[in-house]
Amino acid sequence: MVIEQIDISDLLQTLEQSLQQLITQRQLNNPIVIGIHTGGAWIAEILHQRLAIQEPLALLDISFYRDDFSQIGVHPKVKASRLPLTIEGRDIILIDDVFYTGRTVRAALNEIFDYGRPKQVVLGALIERDGREVPLRPDCIGMAMTLPQGQRVKITGPEPLELDIQNPGERS
């Protein structure tokens, strides 16, 4: 079920404004924007342009860093991570599409720290939904959402970006 009443462009604008304020408040210097594949990469690409970030956009595939990797095996569509040569001492803006349990972001942070120790990491998510399982939370969001148990929220795209709420057993 695609949700018509939620305008993704409004969510992107809210997230962009929140990130811009945080960039100023926390004095991020020449930050690197890193998008988590797949939806987070789409969102990061848009925000990278809107925030006029000078550093090239970086992309992260956390497939090998997932805490359920040994149970689910390798996903057949693993994409290469594309990170700068040095993360050490850099300001990072990490972008995900939907922040749910926190496990994806935990895996992303593990991979980032394998490349070096950043100065600081700002976490942005288009949607933060209920259901955290690890003690992480985004710094900036487009919107917060509470869903009944069993429902999932997914961003589809990249063109057009749409918000999809899935009921148990439903596939997009």
∠ CA 14-16-22 to the nearest 5 degrees? 105
Confidence of residue 1 (pLDDT cuts 50, 70, 90): very low
pLDDT value for 150: 87
Is the pLDDT higher at 66 or at 7? 7
- CATH top class, domain 8-69+79-146: alpha beta
Confidence of residue 83 (pLDDT cuts 50, 70, 90): confident
pLDDT value for 2: 46
Q: Where are the domains of the chain?
A: 8-69+79-146
Is the pLDDT higher at 113 or at 167? 113
Is the pLDDT higher at 84 or at 76? 84
pTM for the predicted model, two decimal places: 0.90
Cis peptide before 118 (omega within 30 of 0): no
Mean pLDDT for the chain?
A: 89
CA–CA separation, 87 vs 74, rounded Å? 26
∠ CA 136-158-124 to the nearest 5 degrees? 20
pLDDT mean over 11-16: 98
∠ CA 91-94-95 to the nearest 5 degrees? 150
pLDDT mean over 121-127: 98
Confidence of residue 4 (pLDDT cuts 50, 70, 90): low
Q: What is the per-residue pLDDT across 135-146, written as a single tens digit (0 to 9) for each?
A: 999 999 999 999
Cis peptide before 38 (omega within 30 of 0): yes
CA–CA separation, 122 vs 140, rounded Å? 8
Q: What is the per-residue pLDDT across 51-75, written as a single tens digit (0 to 9) for each?
A: 999 999 999 999 877 665 454 455 5
Q: What is the per-residue pLDDT across 103-115, written as a single tens digit (0 to 9) for each?
A: 999 999 999 999 9
Tally Cβ neighbours within 10 Å of residue 39: 22
Q: Report which residue type is found at 46.
A: I
Does the pLDDT value for residue 171 go beyond 70? Answer: no
pLDDT value for 170: 62
Please tell me what DSSP assigns to residue 43.
Answer: H
**DSSP-based three-state secondary structure for 144:** strand
CA–CA separation, 166 vs 149, rounded Å? 11
